[in-house]
Structure 1
Amino acid sequence: MYAVFKRELFSLLNSLMAYITIGVFLLASGLLLWFFPDTSILEYGYAELTGFFNLAPFLFMFLIPAITMRSFAEERREGTYVLLATRPLTDWQIILAKYLACFVLVLFALIPTLIYYYSVFKLGLPEGNIDTGAVIGSYIGLLLLGSSFVAVGIFASAVTKNQVIAFAIAVFICFIVYNGFDAMSKIFALQYLESMLIGLSVNEHYQSISRGVLDTRDLIYFITFILVFLAVTRQVIGGRKW
C-alpha cells in the first residue's frame, strides 16, 4: 500500500496540473481575502478569518475534483490499472493509497494559508487580537471538509475513464452535499423534512466545527460520509473487476 501511496503522491507532485490548481486556489483565496472590497479583511475591519473559511469550501469544490479526477480515470484510460489490480493488493489498499495521496496534496495547499492567520495576528489592534481557538476549529473543519470532498472525487474518478467527466461529476456532488440539502430544506413541500435535510448537509456540520467546538456528532458525520463514498468506490471497482 505504501508503494502505491508513494507512487500516486509523486505522480501528483510531478503533474503540472496539481501546481496550477494549487496556485489558482492560493491566488483566488488571496485576492478574495485581501484585495476585493466586498470580501477584504482590510475593508471588514475585524481581526478574524471568517471570510476565508466561508469562501474556502467553494474553492475546494473545484480544487479537489481537479486533483482527484485522474486517480482512477487516467489509469483506466491508459490501461495501467490492470497491472495495479494484479498486484498482491486489496481494493481497499488501492483506494486508501490514492485517497491519502490526494488528501496530502490538499494539505499542502492549505499550509501556505497559515500566512493569513499570521498576518491578521500581527495586524490586529492590539497585536494578537484574534480568536485562535476559532481559527484552529475552522482549520479542522476545513480538513474534514477537504477529506470528504476527496472521497467524493475518488468515487467520481472510479466511475468513468474521462477525467473531465470525473471532474464534472465530483463538482456536482460536492455542490449538492454542501449546499443542496440546505436549499431543499427551504422548499415549501419539503419543509416538514427540514431538520433531517439540514442534518444531512455538509455545510451544517462544517459551520458547527468552525465555531471552535468539536462535537462528536460532527466528527461521526464526516467519518461516516467518507466511509460511505469509499465503500461505494470499492463496490464500483470490485464489480468492474469481477
Structure 2
Amino acid sequence: MYAVFKRELFSLLNSLMAYIIIGVFLMATGLLLWFFPETSILEYGYAELNGFFSLAPFLFMFLIPAITMRSFAEERREGTYVLLATRPLTDWQIILGKYFACFVLIVFALVPTLIYYYSVYRLGFPEGNIDSGAAVGSYLGLLLLGAAFVSVGIFASSITKNQVVAFAVSVFICFIAYNGLDAMSQVFSLQYFETILLNLSVNERYQSISRGVLDTRDLVYFITFMLVFLGLTRLVIGGRKW
C-alpha cells in the first residue's frame, strides 16, 4: 500500500493542478476572511473563525472532487491501471493508497490556514480572547469532512474513465450529503423522516463537532460514511476485474 500511496502522492505533487487547487482554496478563504467587507473578520469585530469554518465545506465540495477525479479515471483512460492491478497488491491496498494520498494533500491545504487562528489570537482583546476549544473541534471537523469527501471522490473516479464526469458526480453526491439532506428534512417536517434525514446529514455532524464537543456518535458516523463509499469503490473495481 505504501508504494501506491507514495506513487499517487508524488504524482499529485508533481502536477500543476494540485498547487492551483490549494492556491485557489487559500486565496478564496483569505479574501473572504480579511478583505471583503461583508465577511471580513476585521469588520465583524469578534475574535472567532466561524466564517472560515462555514465557508470551507462549500469550497471542499469543489476542490476535493478536483483532486480525486483523476485517481482511477486517468489510470483507466491511459490503460495504466491494468499494470497496477497485475501487481501483487489487493484491491484494498490500491484503494487505500490512493485515498490516503488525496487526504494528505487536503491536510497540506489546511496547514497554512493555521495562520488565521494565530492572527485572530493576536488581534483579540485581550490577546488570546478566542475559543480555542471550538477552533480545535472545527479543524477536526474539517479533517473528517475532508476525509468523507475524499472517499466520495475516489468512488466517483472509479465508475468512469472521464475525469469531468467523475468531478460532476462527486460534487453532486457531496452536495446532497452535506446540504441536500438538510433541505429534504424541511420537506418532511413534523414527521419522523425529518429526524432520520438530519441524522444522515454530514452538515449536522460537522456542526456538532465544530462546537468543540467530541461525540463518539459523530466519529462513528464519519467512519461509517467513509467505509461505505470505499466499500462501493471496492465493489466497482472487483466487478470490473471479473
Q: TM-score, normalised by structure 1?
A: 0.99
What does 1:1-242 align with in structure 2 at a 5 Å threshold?
A: 1-188=1-188, 191-242=191-242
The change in CA–CA distance for 1:82 and 1:54 in structure 2 (over 3 A counts) is same
| Contact kept? 1:185, 1:191, Cα under 8 Å | no
Shift of 1:191: 4.0
Query: C-alpha distance in 1, partners of 2:237/2:97?
Result: 14
Q: Which runs of 5+ in 2 are unaligned?
A: none
Shift of 1:192: 3.5
Percent identical: 83
| Contact kept? 1:184, 1:190, Cα under 8 Å | no
| Contact kept? 2:2, 2:97, Cα under 8 Å | yes
Query: C-alpha distance in 2, partners of 1:62/1:182?
Result: 19
Aligned residue type for 1:171: V
Query: C-alpha distance in 2, partners of 1:48/1:181?
Result: 28
Cα distance per residue 1:42-91 (max 9 Å; x no partner):
11110000110000000000110000000000000000000000000000
Query: C-alpha distance in 2, partners of 1:189/1:76?
Result: 44
Q: TM-score, normalised by structure 2?
A: 0.99
Query: C-alpha distance in 2, partners of 1:149/1:235?
Result: 18
Aligned residue type for 2:122: K
Q: How well do the aligned residues superpose, as a CA RMSD in angstroms?
A: 0.9
Residue 182 of structure 2 aligns to a residue in which SS? Answer: helix
Query: C-alpha distance in 2, partners of 1:229/1:169?
Result: 13
Shift of 1:146: 0.2
Query: C-alpha distance in 1, partners of 2:171/2:32?
Result: 21
Residue 156 of structure 2 aligns to a residue in which SS? Answer: helix
Shift of 1:189: 7.4
Query: C-alpha distance in 2, partners of 1:31/1:71?
Result: 30
Q: Which runs of 5+ in 1 are unaligned?
A: none
Q: How many residue pairs align between the two structures?
A: 242
| Contact kept? 1:33, 1:40, Cα under 8 Å | yes
Query: C-alpha distance in 1, partners of 2:19/2:76?
Result: 23
Aligned residue type for 2:81: Y
Shift of 1:39: 1.1
Cα distance per residue 1:190-236 (max 9 Å; x no partner):
84410110000000000000000000000000000000000000000
